[in-house]
Amino acid sequence: MFHKILIANRGEIACRVIDTCRRLGVATVAVFSDADRDSRHVAMADQAVHLGGPAPADSYLRGDAIIAAALATGAQAIHPGYGFLSENPDFVDVVEAAGLVFIGPSARAIRAMGLKDAAKALMEQAGVPVVPGYHGDNQDAAYLADQAARIGYPALIKAVAGGGGKGMRRVDDPKDFVDALDSARSEARNAFGNPAVLIEKYVLQPRHIEVQVFGDGHRAVHLFERDCSLQRRHQKVIEEAPAPGMTAEMRRTMGAAATRAAEAIGYKGAGTIEFIVDGSDGLRPDRFWFMEMNTRLQVEHPVTEAITGVDLVEWQLRVASGEPLPAKQEDLTITGHAFEARLYAEDVPAGFLPATGRLAHLRFPEGARIETGVRQGDRVSPWYDPMIAKIVTHGATRAIALRALESALVDTEVAGSVTNLDFLIALTRHQGFRAGEVDTGLIGRDLDALVAAAAPDPRARALAVIGLAGLADPSPKGGATLWQPLRRTIAWEGGEAVLEVLGPGVARVTLEDTLHEVRWQSDRWWVDGDLRRNRIVGHDAGISVFGGRPVHLSPLDPLARETGPAGGGALTLSPMPGLVKSVHVTAGQAVSAGDRLAVLEAMKMEHALTAARDGVVAEVLARPGDQVEAGAPLIRLQDDEAAA
């Protein structure tokens, strides 16, 4: 076994590799870009080497700098993770030329599988079923159109250098072929510098089922299948193992084909053979076809680990250091069922746009395996993949594992960036998914309903208002603090509500013309008579309500308050937590822009709060001696059309 390795990656996969290295007593060297100086993988490693600027080309793709770092720190081997340099055969060559070990397959094996057309030809020779189609050299448009007609519509145009669903077009009607070909080619040229395409039969009701293989350069075994059919635009969202509805016969046939594929190229290390399966008539051994091989560890490898008990990174290290395959095929068995959900910083209603932000609050549930590269307070930067974590659950049956996933997601708390958490929760409740009726079109067909199910819940928002008003106990136990009768307006970024506290533990929140009754009773929150399982959490970016579809309210930005559209200059907010020293106006009094309204004492200094515009004081919401939070409204002016 190695005594020290370098991990040429970042984020959750770098942390994942370090975890196993620690357990095996292998020292680790991390590498990092300017954007990752304070990141979790750097903090976890025994040593860390700076590579350069935040752009991947200036850091994680700099093979020369990475090899220099390995040599300088005395690392014996390089683990590439996934993405970046993991499937770059030229990098493997230079790593080996430098006298280091690449923890992964040979450059030759990566090259053999690098282009989809050559890989398909190779697999055909090895007797592995491939999708009917054309994967030859002739790239003439008329010729390709003929091939599509011969294979039959719907057809799929795929970039031979493709990845991540880029350069792929489904064509249903022959008259659309040429346009689709043009757009696939130009996307492929831009993304991969290679416009060549192949044509495939588009499999109806397709399921994506892939087989994990592992080789030592001579022999290979398979570690069963993963079902990755839950996809959005060809990107995996939730993965599981084993595949629902898999029969022993089909598993044996697929496993044997995958092992044959790996042995055909003398494969060493962890790899995945991806198959497309026609699921229109259940799973049948004559209805699966090779799509491509990924010559690296996959993002979704933890579901395989969960059902087999194998640590795939340990196997990678052992085989790369010269040990034979750690197990024989007959030693490998499946125990239970596992799911993995990919939690992303992304704006689902805006069309799944990647999001960024500082994770003001981050808490993961007990009882699930969490793979993450971030901690509370870390930033999701615009430079890299916005994945926050992978949440993995395992159970004796599929139903148990899926319920465990649902509750793990409900118990996950992220604030400071929008996430796809609600969307993932909605998926775990989807009837078809629950029944195991998965295919790659499931999300697309039910997208509107899935996104709508993730819309904010007004009752959870009413609880958030209680939190913003400082009426929820911030301790982990939660609950209501002592409530005095009061009536005030609570405002936040993008909205406001009227709060009336009627007595201890009873309040009314009027939100968008709807009145909600909130109670703290028997140590639980109740809204409109319903028992809530929510948790109200305060953090430095505002208030979040978790335990269901999450709700976040950010206090108004005090610096933007004078011009911000939300307040229209009508509200004067406390710019920071502090003590109200004095109030200089009363309700009904006319004020001019710049007049002193109140004085706040904070951070040992006095701050005069002035009127943002001319107007008449409608409400004085604070009294001298009040302790107020950042964003608390202090003075409210009457609405004034002239001031808008």
**Which stretches of the chain bind ligand ADP, using CB under 6 A?**
131, 156, 158, 162-166, 168, 200-203, 206, 208, 231, 234, 274, 276, 291-292, 440
Number of alpha carbons in the 13 Å side-chain half-sphere of residue 517? 8
Least distance to ligand ADP from the beta carbon of 296, Å?
13
Q: Which residue number, 239 or 496, has a Cβ lying nearer to ligand ADP?
A: 239
Which DSSP string do the residues of 202-217 spell out, in sequence order?
A: PPSSEEEEEEEEEEES
Closest to 164 in 3D by CA, of 116, 196, 211: 116
Asked if residues 11 and 389 have their Cβ atoms less than 8 Å apart, the reply is: no
Determine how β-strand 133-134 pairs with β-strand 197-201.
antiparallel
Give the pair of three-digit tokens for residue 174.
Answer: 């022959």
**Residue 317 to residue 294: CA distance in whole angstroms:** 18
Residues 581-596, buried b or exposed e (16+ Cβ, 10 A)? Answer: bebbbeeeeebeeebe
Least distance to ligand ADP from the beta carbon of 65, Å?
28
Which one-letter DSSP state was computed for residue 477? T
Longest dimension (CA), the chain: 89
Asked if residues 472 and 538 have their Cβ atoms less than 8 Å apart, the reply is: yes
Least distance to ligand ADP from the beta carbon of 192, Å?
10
**Residue 613 to residue 121: CA distance in whole angstroms:** 74
**Residue 436 to residue 461: CA distance in whole angstroms:** 33
Asked if residues 427 and 450 have their Cβ atoms less than 8 Å apart, the reply is: yes
Asked if residues 601 and 584 have their Cβ atoms less than 8 Å apart, the reply is: no
Least distance to ligand ADP from the beta carbon of 129, Å?
12
Which one-letter DSSP state was computed for residue 140? -
Q: Which residue number, 216 or 292, has a Cβ lying nearer to ligand ADP?
A: 292
396 burial (CB, 10 Å; 0-12 / 13-18 / 19+) is exposed
Least distance to ligand ADP from the beta carbon of 231, Å?
5
Determine how β-strand 413-415 pairs with β-strand 361-363.
antiparallel
Q: Which residue number, 191 or 566, has a Cβ lying nearer to ligand ADP?
A: 191
Asked if residues 423 and 394 have their Cβ atoms less than 8 Å apart, the reply is: no
Q: Which residue number, 169 or 532, has a Cβ lying nearer to ligand ADP?
A: 169
- To the query of whether residue 10 is one of the catalytic residues in this protein, the response is no
Question: H helices of 267-347, where?
Answer: 301-308, 312-320
Q: Which residue number, 164 or 324, has a Cβ lying nearer to ligand ADP?
A: 164
CA 54 to chain centre: 20
Q: Which residue number, 191 or 327, has a Cβ lying nearer to ligand ADP?
A: 191
Least distance to ligand ADP from the beta carbon of 439, Å?
9
Chain position carrying tokens 């009426």: 471
CA 112 to chain centre: 31
Q: Which residue number, 208 or 398, has a Cβ lying nearer to ligand ADP?
A: 208
Q: Which residue number, 76 or 229, has a Cβ lying nearer to ligand ADP?
A: 229
Q: Which residue number, 232 or 361, has a Cβ lying nearer to ligand ADP?
A: 232
Question: Helix (H, G, I), strand (E, B), or coil: what is residue 178?
Answer: helix
Least distance to ligand ADP from the beta carbon of 272, Å?
10
Which one-letter DSSP state was computed for residue 35? G
Given 10, 185, 296, 342, which residue is catalytic?
A: 296
Least distance to ligand ADP from the beta carbon of 146, Å?
18
Give the chain's radius of gyration (CA, Å): 29
Q: Residue 291: which region, alpha, beta or left (left: phi > 0; alpha: psi -120 to 50)?
A: alpha
Q: Which residue number, 188 or 591, has a Cβ lying nearer to ligand ADP?
A: 188
**Residue 235 to residue 404: CA distance in whole angstroms:** 23
**Residue 572 to residue 584: CA distance in whole angstroms:** 13
Least distance to ligand ADP from the beta carbon of 445, Å?
14
The continuous run of DSSP H or E covering 620 comes out as strand 615-620
Least distance to ligand ADP from the beta carbon of 248, Å?
24
Catalytic residues: 296
